[in-house]
């Protein structure tokens, strides 16, 4: 019981400051669009867990374990490190490195849209971004990657706490598939996703509609992106500095309306604009 409490205290000492630091300034785990990066976040989580396991085993070995001799032997506390735990950690890191490379190449070639982060993206980020696509909708591939990784992490933590003195939990060698297979699916999804335009923000000022986002470039024939407000086509022009689309708001549009951008024959997810509430007068 004492060793398990020590392990829990060490886990809290590692995880809590890391979580608080990322909550205040999550830039370390965000992508080029300012949203939480699924691959980076999961790789960081596995790093913290493996570091915790090793530090706890070191502390136990130097105190209750009997010293350096405890670490020796074919069935020592670290015997499964290279056969189970490094492959378990390797899947998320392969996905992280490969996903960054794939996204970078696709953005450069114009086959993927990654809107630039808004100034507010430097603040706290909702955890839902880990399982959502660029449009904010839940992505099944990201969801299964996060869910299976979380279950595997919980499996490792609970089995380790049940017997700290045994060292690294003797998990089945195939358990790496619970992170490796979802990581592979996550990477394949990055390679296969279609470059649909993405709407990140819509504003209305003095009758002028401004649509912000990415993937609004014209097609190879020069046909510009088309904006519709409640199925009414709006003549727009791109802002040369920000790439946002601006045009007159249709006279028949209500206070709340739906905006859709079509570019290169691909349609964005509908974006519902709702005016901000007018503050009550004093």
CB contact at 8 A, 80 and 171: yes
Residue 123 confidence (pLDDT) above 60: no
Q: Quote the tokens at residue 218.
A: 């014209």
Binned at pLDDT 50, 70 and 90, residue 282 comes out as very low
Above 90 in pLDDT, residue 52? yes
Express as a percent the part of the chain with pLDDT over 90.
Answer: 9
Residues in the chain: 282
Find the mean pLDDT for residues 109-125. Answer: 56
* Helix-strand-coil split of the chain, %, nearest 5: 50, 15, 35
Please report, for residues 68, 247, 259, the alpha-carbon distance to residue 205 in angstroms, rounded to integers and kept in the order given.
71, 11, 16
Q: Per residue in 222-254, pLDDT tens? A: 788 889 998 889 888 888 877 889 999 888 777
**Domain range summary for the chain, segments of one domain joined by +:** 2-192, 198-273
What is the C-alpha separation between 78 and 69, in angstroms, rounded?
Answer: 12
pLDDT at 118: 54
Q: What is the pLDDT of residue 92?
A: 85
So what's the pLDDT on residue 74?
Answer: 66
pLDDT at 6: 85
Q: Which residues contact 82 (CB under 8 A, 6 or more apart)?
A: none
Burial class (CB in 10 A: 0-12, 13-18, 19+), 274: exposed
Is residue 119's pLDDT more than 60?
Answer: no
Convert the pLDDT of each residue in 171-188 to its tens digit. Answer: 776 777 777 788 888 888
β-bridge partners, 209: 204, 247
Indicate the class that CATH gives domain 198-273. Answer: mainly beta
pLDDT at residue 49, as a whole number: 92
| Residue 281 in this model has a pLDDT that exceeds 60 | no
Band (87; pLDDT cuts 50, 70, 90): confident
pTM of the model: 0.70
Tokens in use for 79?
């015997």
pLDDT digits (tens, 9 = 90+) for 1-17: 788 888 888 889 888 88
Of 11-15, 18-22, 270-274, where does mean pLDDT reach its minimum?
Answer: 18-22
Q: Provide mean pLDDT across the span 137-153.
A: 88
Averaged pLDDT, 23-38: 76
The pLDDT of residue 73 is 64
| pLDDT at residue 135 in the model | 64
pLDDT, tens only, 205-220: 888 899 988 778 787 7
């Amino acid at each position: 019981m004492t060793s398990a409490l020590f392990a829990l205290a060490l886990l809290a000492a590692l995880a809590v400051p890391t979580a608080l630091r990322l909550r205040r300034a999550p830039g370390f785990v965000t992508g080029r669009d300012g949203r939480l990066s699924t691959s980076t976040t999961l790789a960081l989580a596995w790093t913290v867990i493996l570091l915790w396991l090793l530090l706890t085993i070191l502390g136990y070995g130097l105190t209750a374990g009997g010293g350096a001799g405890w670490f020796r032997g074919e069935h020592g506390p670290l015997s499964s490190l290279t056969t189970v735990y490094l492959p378990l950690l390797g899947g998320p890191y392969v996905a992280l490195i490969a996903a960054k490379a794939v996204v970078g190449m696709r953005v450069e070639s114009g086959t993927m849209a990654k809107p630039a982060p808004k100034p507010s993206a430097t603040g706290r980020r909702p955890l839902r971004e880990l399982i959502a696509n660029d449009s904010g909708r839940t992505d099944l591939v990201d969801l299964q990657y996060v869910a299976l990784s979380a279950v595997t992490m919980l499996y490792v933590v609970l089995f380790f706490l049940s017997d700290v003195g045994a060292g690294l939990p003797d998990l089945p060698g195939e358990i790496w598939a619970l992170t490796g297979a979802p990581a592979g699916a996550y990477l394949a999804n990055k390679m296969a996703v279609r470059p649909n335009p993405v709407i990140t923000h819509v504003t209305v000022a003095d009758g002028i509609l401004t649509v912000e986002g990415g993937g609004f470039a014209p097609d190879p024939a020069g046909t510009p992106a088309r904006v519709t407000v409640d199925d009414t086509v709006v003549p727009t022009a791109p802002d040369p500095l920000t790439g946002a689309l601006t045009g007159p708001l249709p006279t028949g549009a209500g206070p709340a309306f739906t905006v859709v951008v079509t570019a290169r024959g691909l349609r964005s997810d509908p974006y519902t604009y709702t005016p901000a509430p007018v503050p009550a007068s004093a």
